Amino acid sequence: MTATTNIAAPLAERDRELRDRALVRGWLYVVLVVLFALVMVGGATRMTGSGLSITEWKPIHGVIPPLNQAEWQEEFEKYQQIPQYEQINKGMTLDEFKGIFWWEWAHRLLARGVGFLVAIPLALFWVSGKLERRLKPKLVGLLALGGLQGAVGWWMVASGLSERVSVSQYRLAIHLTFACIIVMAVAYIARGLAPYTERPADRGIQRFAGIMVLMVLFQIYLGALVAGLHAGLSYNTWPLMDGAIIPGDLLVIEPVWRNFFESPKTVQFVHRMFAYTLLVAALWHALATMRVAPRTTHARRAWVLALLLVGQAAIGVGTLLMQAQMHWALLHQGFALVVLIFATAHWRATKGAYPLENEIEVRS
């Protein structure tokens, strides 16, 4: 009887921990969906030129939009003081201003909502004892990253309020990249809480899967530079660019390094070339995983990742040929997030689940 009790107690504890993991994982997946929506609304805000319509950062008071004609007029007058209005939207009506205002307001509201969606359940899970020790610093760090991202977002907006008619491409790229890092963190933690039937992959596969995640993230960063410079509106042919595989005049700005951040032609070219590099790396990873770990979920996921990147490349070409029309551009951005999330989940899966705190070793 004593032996049975000694085994049953840790088994019950293990089952409880698995149930808690399922709850936490479900919550993180909900956070991931809302983050995806937030990034997409951010993309639409950029595409509609709405990002500078709210000229102040009011983390608390800003939740409430203008409620009457006088408040709308006051908000509109603030917008009329910035260069974007004077140089691009001069003569805009109040109703037209409302159209761009709501996009930016919705983006900020979603961002605030994500903060509450993380903070409140985190506190409840913590108090109820459903969080494992190893998860607590990870999730607190995630919440801190979200707060920092809000500050980065305002830092980006501020770059377009005094001298420019749009935000700095440098800051836009940092803002989007930071958002993607948060998405990666949520996907990584959630996937680590999932039950696994497959053994962890070979260390070489794990490392290359991690490299693939970094490469996807870097390609998204390059895409943000393209968006910030409106570089997708020119050189809309493929596979040639400006009539050549390697076009001329790529390094006309001095000093040379600025071409990779400020020349639309150079930035688009680098984005194209790295896309090819990423495709080759994904195919190499799939073949190597199939050779080292044939007929495993690791190999199957590696091939799915390669196919997703082929699809993303096709969407990218379509976006280019359609001169970055809004629907194509948003599809390209959204699918990039899908690729990033899958690549991150694949990387975590090659390493196996987080060990249970109450792991039981069954001895014969």
Say how far apart CA 109 and CA 240 lie, in whole Å: 42
pLDDT for 359 equals: 62
Using the structure block, give the residue that is written with the tokens 């006088």: 70
Which among 60, 58, 52, 44 has a CA at the least distance from the CA of 76? 52
Amino acid type, 293: A
State the Cα–Cα distance between residues 317 and 311, nearest whole angstrom: 10
Coil, helix or strand at residue 307: helix
Computed from CA positions of residues 157, 332, 101, 107, in that sequence, does the dihedral angle turn out positive or negative? Answer: negative
Q: Which helix (H) or strand (E) holds 165?
A: none
Q: How much is the pLDDT for 363? A: 35
Model pLDDT, residue 62: 79
d(CA 134, CA 188): 14
Q: Please give the pLDDT value at position 353.
A: 87
Q: Would you call 31 exposed, middle or buried from its count of C-beta atoms within 10 A (0-12, 13-18, 19+)?
A: buried
- Tens-level pLDDT at each residue, the chain (364 residues): 454 545 555 677 777 888 889 999 999 999 999 999 999 999 999 999 999 999 988 887 778 999 999 999 999 999 999 999 999 999 999 999 999 999 999 999 999 999 999 999 999 999 999 999 999 999 999 999 999 999 999 999 999 998 888 999 999 999 999 999 999 999 999 999 998 878 999 999 999 999 999 999 999 999 999 999 999 999 999 999 999 999 999 999 999 999 999 999 999 999 999 999 999 999 999 999 999 999 999 999 999 999 999 999 999 999 999 999 999 999 999 999 999 999 999 999 999 988 887 664 433 3
| pLDDT given at position 2 | 52
User: Per residue in 146-178, is it b (16+ CB within 10 Å) or e — as a string?
Assistant: beebbebbeebbebbbeeeebbbbebbbbbbbb
